Amino acid sequence: MRTVLVIGGTGTIGSAVVQELGKRHRVITAGRSSGDYRVAIEDIASVRALFAEAGSVDHVVVAAGALHVGPLEQMTHQQFRVGLDSKLMGQVNVALVAQHALNEGGSITLTSGVDAHNPLRGCANTITVNNGIEGFANGAAVELQRGLRINVVNPSLLEESAEKFESLFYGFEPVPASRVACVYSRCVEGAESGKTYCAW
């Protein structure tokens, strides 16, 4: 049994990942205001403190990070930085620390989003961020040491969130969080690296 740290483990995706991986592994969770540990991923000092406190960890999954959704013509510099600082650099921060903190042969799993490949109106920030996450993992995979792997899950609209977000995703078929969690399992328990797995 290995230890998996799920950041954002009480969210819709994160809780499904915890349930799936918890069948076979010891799972611990972290979040800004909930979970076993507290972390603000946009603050790399907070990420370092999380790994120091959590102790021996084999795998880390990140299902967290804020984004800005809104029309480009009204978007401000500060609004655009929301996604850059939180979801993009937050996940990069986790990877930068995890590469030294994880046990040998472990893995890092990040989260992008369906609009990275299917542009939506009002999503210039989210599209930029999600493509950046996938690009980072692709580049990091060839440099990670000690048998570590890194992959990205690209989830579509969840059935559990469809009512709240469907106005952004007309024409997209919602998928259950349990199905998306199986894709995270593939990243954690599989053998490949540098891949983006679409959960559509």
Q: Which domains does the chain have, with CATH numbers?
A: 3-199 (3.40.50.720)
User: What's the pLDDT band for 173 if we cut at 50, 70, 90?
Assistant: confident
Residue type, 87: K
- Give the confidence band of 1 by pLDDT, cuts at 50, 70, 90: confident
Number of Cβ within 10 Å of residue 119's Cβ equals: 10
pLDDT at position 170 is 81
pLDDT given at position 171: 82
Average pLDDT (187-197) is 98
Instruction: Give me the pLDDT at residue 50, please.
Output: 98
Start-to-end CA distance of the chain, whole Å, equals 29
Q: Using alpha carbons only, give the angle 70, 111, 16 rounded to the nearest 5 degrees.
A: 110
- The helix (H) or strand (E) run that includes residue 129 is helix 124-141
Does the model's pTM come out above 0.85?
Answer: yes
β-pair type (59-62, 37-38): unpaired
Q: Which of 116, 126, 80 lies closest to 198, judged by CA? A: 116
Cβ neighbour number for residue 76 with a 10 Å cutoff:
10
